Chain A
């Protein structure tokens, strides 16, 4: 992993279209500003992982759903 030191207000450019700015540093927390093209989605990693797991776990079949709703 590439590791770079940045100060508040400084940024990193990834490729042509992505810019990540350090907006604020307060104790243990760093606030980042991200500029990216709209076709890219940006997630907090732990939420992304939870969402992937939840969506995959929620997959069901039409027949199963029909069966549940018949009762």
Chain B
């Protein structure tokens, strides 16, 4: 499987628990809701990400003013949201962090993991895993 060339995105606040501040983001496959986020300084460090809106139809949140200000976001058309997928307990037990999505300013290529004030979403939301998810719908 060939991976498309990615976008370089800076994380000025880092990601809690990880000491890396710049990553390359690329979709796993064209049209897939899954992405791979790879540290530019430590290529063996990566995170599987998913577009939460593609797999959790009811997911929604309002971006807090502070976070929007930090990221320089003023409109919806310059935002992308991706969530980390944890496959450490096996692919069948994969979970998604819906509590703290990664919010990206797609114009400035700056991102930040934002903890939602709304506590209705879990840091470990089970993902009904289908590697081809999102593709068969087309």
Tell me, in angstroms, the Cα distance from A65 to B86 when the chains sit together: 11
User: Contact partner of B87 among A39, A68, A70, CB < 8 A?
Assistant: A68
Complex-state Cα separation, A53 to B16, whole angstroms = 8
Let me know if B78 is at the binding interface, CB within 8 A: no
**Could you tell me if A60 and B48 are in contact, using CB atoms closer than 8 angstroms?**
yes
A55–B18 touching, CB < 8 Å: yes
Are A54 and B48 in touch, CB under 8 angstroms?
Answer: no
Within 8 A of A (CB), among B83-108: 84-88, 91, 97, 99-100
Chain B CB within 8 A of A27 CB = no
A56: CB under 8 A from chain B? yes
**Chain B interface residue number, banded:** 35 or more
A residues with a Cβ closer than 8 A to B are 38-39, 41, 43-44, 47-48, 50-62, 64-66, 68-71
Given contacts A55-B84, A60-B46, A69-B34, 15 further A-B contacts (CB under 8 A): A38-B66, A43-B115, A47-B115, A50-B123, A51-B113, A54-B17, A54-B123, A55-B15, A55-B47, A56-B17, A57-B86, A58-B47, A61-B46, A62-B3, A68-B87
The 4 A-B residue pairs with the shortest CB-CB distance, nearest first, are A52-B17, A55-B17, A58-B86, A56-B17
